[in-house]
Amino acid sequence: MAKPVSTKPRAVADFKTATDLLNVLPMTAEVKNGHLYVGGVDMVTLAREAGTALYVMDEETIATQLSDYIKWTRYHWKEVDVVYAGKAFLSRAMVQLVDAEGCCLDVSSGGELALALSAGFDPARIYVHGNNKTDEELNECLDAGVGRIVVDSFEELEQLSTMASERGIEQSILIRVTPGIEADTHDYIKTGAEDSKFGFGLNSGNAFRAVKRAAELPGIDFEGLHIHIGSQIYALQSFSAAIEVIVAFIAKIRDELGIETRLLDTGGGLGVAYGVPDEPATIKEYGKVVIDDIKEECEKHDLTVPRMAVEPGRSIVANSGITLYTVGVIKVIPDIRTYVSVDGGMSDNIRTSLYDAHYEALIANKADQPRTITATVAGKHCESGDIVVSDGPLQEVERGDILCVCATGAYAQSLSNNYNKQVRPGIIWVKDGTWRWVVYRETYEDLMRTDAVEGVCP
């Protein structure tokens, strides 16, 4: 059933220009001659040359976020792995940038692993996630020689032991623990509560039993623990609460099993600014809280401080990206709302339909003008819930304008789809006044490439 348009209170015209939206735009964003520029590139000219719908990402913003995570975590403790969570956005160019910045990589499927390997990423620096890894995927991980597999169930633990033993190797693993912490975020992206499809429950005793079993099994090297309490978290105390619980568990493992936990991975989840009022914590603040809290809790329990890992994804790429559309039909329904239809929608950004996510929008060719109207940016798909921005402020809009939706670098392309046989947009990276394709736009031929037709062999 189609999801209805949001009934939450409507935004009002806020008279802000693009200059007032810099907190949700890439760090190189600026306004020149009335147009929005990112990475020194005119977004209006780019849209008209490369076509829309189009994802645009600022390479400088991504590289800065990666390096800041390394800087502000290792400032407090030298042995920290910054593990980019590829689920947020992944391409060969992204893998190579992660590599160049000295970070590790988190993959969650055989496809993500294959892409990483095709880009030349060192498998020893790969962490593998997934609550239902197939036997094929586990074989691919072992054959590739991945550094760490995050184990999510007893069944997986036993299967991995058998597979590793058959190869005569020991596979380093982390046990994923659900610590029972309710992060202050959307229900769909909470992952640390007891009632979760992910990991072993701490309060049920399953996490302890999993560690004990891992230590007994051949082919398994228990290296440590992994927790992840959710995504888009603004309240740093949520991380503090989870760290307090998990370090106490590490002490229990030492005291009752005599086993050392050599690595603690606290997952990701730091929130980003999607709206003008949003004020997420900085990477500097996050690094201090997470790393110092682990050190303090270890001191409290007389534990050796383990190697640490953090897994940022969204906060690396979200604000590096924008999506450009061309405005089509504009429909004014008196006393109800104005619909501004664009040449994309839930096929290139399903988060608004899925999570009721909020985005800021602006007209890239009128970037110096104030947002004087309120409009709903609608997609072109056969769903009434195909909404990109619900009742948001916008400049006066005309057919043919280039509309920009901000902060779409995370999960927009990752969750994109071919609904209504819509081709998925390409991805362009901008830097120092130049642009390049990193993922080409799909074609109609791409849509039909795997379609089996009688008498025609692929």
Tokens of 113: 């692993």
d(CA 260, CA 145): 23
Residue 417 makes CB contacts below 8 A (sequence gap 6+) with: 346, 347, 350, 424
Task: Say if residues 264 and 291 touch (Cβ distance below 8 Å).
Answer: no
Q: Centre a 10 Å sphere on the Cβ of residue 432 and count the other Cβ atoms it contains.
A: 11
* Burial degree of 73 (CB within 10 A; 0-12, 13-18, 19+): buried
Which are the catalytic amino acids? 382
* Burial degree of 419 (CB within 10 A; 0-12, 13-18, 19+): middle
Tokens of 433: 């006044």
Distances (CA, A) of 356 to 188, 276, 315, 353, 373: 11, 17, 19, 6, 21
d(CA 315, CA 294): 21
Q: Centre a 10 Å sphere on the Cβ of residue 244 and count the other Cβ atoms it contains.
A: 17
Task: Say if residues 214 and 151 touch (Cβ distance below 8 Å).
Answer: yes
* Burial degree of 368 (CB within 10 A; 0-12, 13-18, 19+): middle
Task: Say if residues 123 and 145 touch (Cβ distance below 8 Å).
Answer: yes
Task: Say if residues 323 and 274 touch (Cβ distance below 8 Å).
Answer: no
SS3 445: helix
d(CA 228, CA 265): 8
Residue 234 makes CB contacts below 8 A (sequence gap 6+) with: 184, 271, 278, 279, 280, 281
